[in-house]
Chains A and B, each alone.
Chain A
């Protein structure tokens, strides 16, 4: 049976990969490797069986390779979105298509969105053709006045996926865990952000105690815990420092407490949102806490974000904080995850070095989620995720000529290009449905 499944998988892989040359050579481009080789002018990228075989100014031309002339073009690693609900949401206002939220129930930290991923979602294609090749797909909290529909402060586990069309999409399950603090966390725990912190520390203490007394717990010979068994298990890698906690938090005072808490429990923390993180940039750098920011955010949208600033990305980076970009709104950064280049460009406009902005949308997310050994830069042996651009990828008037995931040239047709083409000319005698 196992052999049968394996061979079926092979057949599927063969079918989905038909038309893909095993060896591909991209020549003549300016290649931003984001690795030790830096920028290569008139460079060549050699792809074999989905991996980067070689990259450099001089690469020997293998026989039988498909050659792609990219003279005058720019090649970058595939873009990596560090927080999204791609494949988890088709239309936010259509409830049955929304799988990013888990409300109530008997588990929270262990809720794993990976199994809800729909690789056929139209939303994925729209973003894929804009150069997004990998993404973190993450759960978010549901807020409600009705306690039955409230989420808990742990939203659950996030996964890294590739955005290709084939079934082999899961890059890493359980790549991060999402936690909510600040005003959001407070509203999930009875009204005070202090209660959210207390809920978190109680859960961490419980998870530690549980790890030492699993057998007693199973014999009902240990005290009760605030979380279910599955959740306590899910927290173990977080306590061991191998599972990063993505913490949704904006206010500087909350971040200061989070820094102390991360130190006490030896947690790996990534701040998501972080409107006021720039105000404590030095402390964050010292604590090695990364921040996923929206470089367009400058309004006091809430009292947690009074000091939001478009200078945040540059200030954080200058202080030595690792940064990445997202909208901050889970829905916005899903259907328009592609706007990650706009965020990067605006960060540059407000003082971030250009190459640092490109790193923030390629290599940095791969590092944050522990997949940089195979992704994030164009280096020998890594997965062949790359984009050929018509010009500066951060300029909004530019666009990808081609997008590759694991060496596969992805289809550049999307539901949106089909709609566009159908209505490009309105002078047909027949209704557009025939186009």
Chain B
């Protein structure tokens, strides 16, 4: 994973990035295949740049830093899109002073599992772009090429404090394609939302969905063992391609599918594996070991609590719901304590949404887990629970060095809540992304409205 590119300089310096692009393009004119591949990859480079911001000092709030700490009556100083300082009675004489006493501040909320933009509102066939369910392995498709930035779900997610989110292909396929991590800013195209420097993800899916979708058509896979044979066949082909690519074999024809899979084997793309049952997750860990790739996170993972120790040992995050259960056979054993039991076992627990409403209330979903855990004597403090929504998802997306906590030098993705975020009565008052105020409750000037909602909504029409 290219952590060294995650220093924030690149996205600030658009000119430098363009210069690199043009120099690569020039090279490709001279040299043949190899550099051409590199240049064409850059054609999909992100064009996100932070919105204008002012130095801002948020004063006197309760801070959940995401590092496991809670700070009472503390300040956050934001400058040049970064968190400059966190602490008590900070000096910010040149900054815009904002009195947030009585309010709570958290890092921006990060959802590792969203289909916003690929399954947007309204949920009609014409907008349904999340599952390329025409073959069980479609590693060649990229979710970003389906993302509709005008999905009203993006601005609605701001009301839940969402600052970053991973958009994944659906789960019809064994290997569904590349995911993309976005900054939750209103934009005209997906390129302007791409999280700078974030690695790509690969969506894989276990269990009922692939075997149902393909089995019902009389083609493989129709069983769980068929699923596993399908993954293994794909990785065998990917390994072969990767070796040829490494040798620089001139006869190697570029293959989009194998290119993505080979990048996984090279550790450049993170694996996000939809998987419900404990036994299946255990098998998937073996598949990963066979081919030498790492599973970054299991998603949904309703039975993760049954193998919390195994997940901790293998450093695999589990991104779970609070209480989705029983909607299909493989989700029948879901329990509300899942995330808490994982956390207790030292595993990386994440609360995810997979839903355009749930993404607006991830704080409430975590609150349900806290309540359920308390019943069995596991008391999860707010400063710990917030990590399920900030630090841990940042880790799973490979962006933990730049977001996920309130620490100096990190991107100023900051949420101001009207009260304790784990109270059902608390609302998001302000959302800062890279220091820019993107959303402010009750302020028309900071309440983005998508094109779709424009003139189509008698309500506020925007994020609210």
Measured CB to CB, the residues of A under 8 A from B are 90-94, 122-123, 279, 296-303, 305-311, 331, 335-336, 338-339, 342, 345-346, 348-349, 394-399, 416, 419-421, 423-424, 426, 432
Contacts and interface: CB of A to CB of B under 8 A. Distances in A.
A300 B333 contact: no
A298 B460 CA distance: 10
B459 A303 contact: no
Contacts of B341: 420, 423-424
B457 interface: yes
B328 A426 contact: no
B458 to A, nearest CB: 5
A432 B306 contact: yes
Nearest to A396: B367
Most B Cβ at <10 Å: residue of A299, A346, A399: A299
B121 A349 contact: no
B202 interface: no
6 contacts: A298-B360, A303-B124, A336-B324, A339-B323, A349-B427, A397-B368
Contacts of A335: 325-327
A140 B341 CA distance: 36
Contact of A300 (B324, B328, B452): B452
B335 interface: yes
Contact of A348 (B323, B425, B457, B459): B425
A93 B327 contact: yes
A349 B424 contact: yes
A94 B328 contact: yes
Contact of A426 (B308, B333, B375, B464): B308
B45 interface: no
Contacts of B426: 349
B357 A399 contact: no
Nearest to A422: B306
Nearest to A335: B326
A342 B360 CA distance: 13
Contacts of B398: none
B376 interface: yes
A296 B364 CA distance: 12
B370 to A, nearest CB: 5
A426 B337 contact: no
A296 B360 contact: yes
B326 A394 contact: no
A396 B375 CA distance: 12
B28 interface: no
A419 B333 contact: yes
B305 interface: yes
B79 to A, nearest CB: 32
B315 interface: no
Nearest to B338: A420
B368 A396 contact: yes
B371 A416 contact: no
B55 interface: no
B209 to A, nearest CB: 10
A423 B124 CA distance: 41
B122 A301 contact: yes
**Which size bracket describes the interface of B in this complex?**
35 or more
B336 interface: yes
A345 B360 contact: no
Interface string B67-87: 000000000000000000000
B427 A309 contact: no
B452 to A, nearest CB: 7
Question: Would you list the 3 A-B pairs with minimal beta carbon distance, nearest first?
Answer: A345-B424, A93-B328, A396-B367
Nearest to B310: A426
Interface string B42-85: 00000000000000000000000000000000000000000000
Interface of B: 121-124, 152-153, 156, 208, 305-306, 308-309, 323-329, 332-337, 341, 345, 356-357, 360-361, 364, 367-368, 370-372, 374-376, 422-427, 452-453, 456-460, 464
Given A307-B457, A397-B371, A423-B308, 13 more contacts: A298-B360, A307-B458, A346-B424, A395-B424, A396-B367, A396-B368, A396-B371, A396-B424, A397-B374, A397-B422, A398-B371, A426-B345, A432-B306
Most A Cβ at <10 Å: residue of B422, B425, B426, B453: B425
A301 B121 contact: yes
Given A349-B425, A349-B426, A420-B335, A297 B329 contact: no
Contacts of A305: 122
A397 B457 contact: no
B378 to A, nearest CB: 9
Contacts of A345: 364, 424-425
Contacts of B334: 416
Contacts of A93: 208, 327-329
Contacts of B371: 395-399
A235 B69 CA distance: 62
B101 to A, nearest CB: 20
A299 B153 contact: yes
Contact of A299 (B356, B427, B464): B356
A334 B244 CA distance: 54
Most B Cβ at <10 Å: residue of A92, A342, A420, A421: A420
Given A296-B357, A311-B459, A395-B424, A423 B306 contact: yes
A92 B357 contact: no
Contacts of B336: 416
A399 B375 contact: yes
A339 B372 CA distance: 13
Given A300-B122, A349-B425, A420-B337, A396 B329 contact: no
A91 B331 CA distance: 9
Nearest to A427: B309
B122 A302 contact: yes
A296 B375 CA distance: 26
A91 B458 contact: no
Contacts of B367: 395-397
Nearest to B357: A296
A309 B460 CA distance: 8
B329 A306 contact: no
B156 A342 contact: no
A422 to B, nearest CB: 9
Contacts of A331: 327
Contacts of A399: 371-372, 374-375
B384 to A, nearest CB: 13
Contacts of B323: 336, 338-339
A50 to B, nearest CB: 27
A397 B340 CA distance: 13
A394 B329 contact: no
Nearest to A349: B425
Given A94-B328, A279-B458, A423 B360 contact: no
Nearest to B337: A420
Nearest to B356: A299
A308 B374 CA distance: 35
Contacts of B459: 298, 307-309, 311
A375 B457 CA distance: 39
Contacts of A349: 424-427
Given A296-B361, A301-B122, A419-B333, A92 B345 contact: no
A397 B370 contact: yes
A306 B305 contact: no
B439 to A, nearest CB: 14
Nearest to B366: A396
A250 to B, nearest CB: 12
B425 A303 contact: no
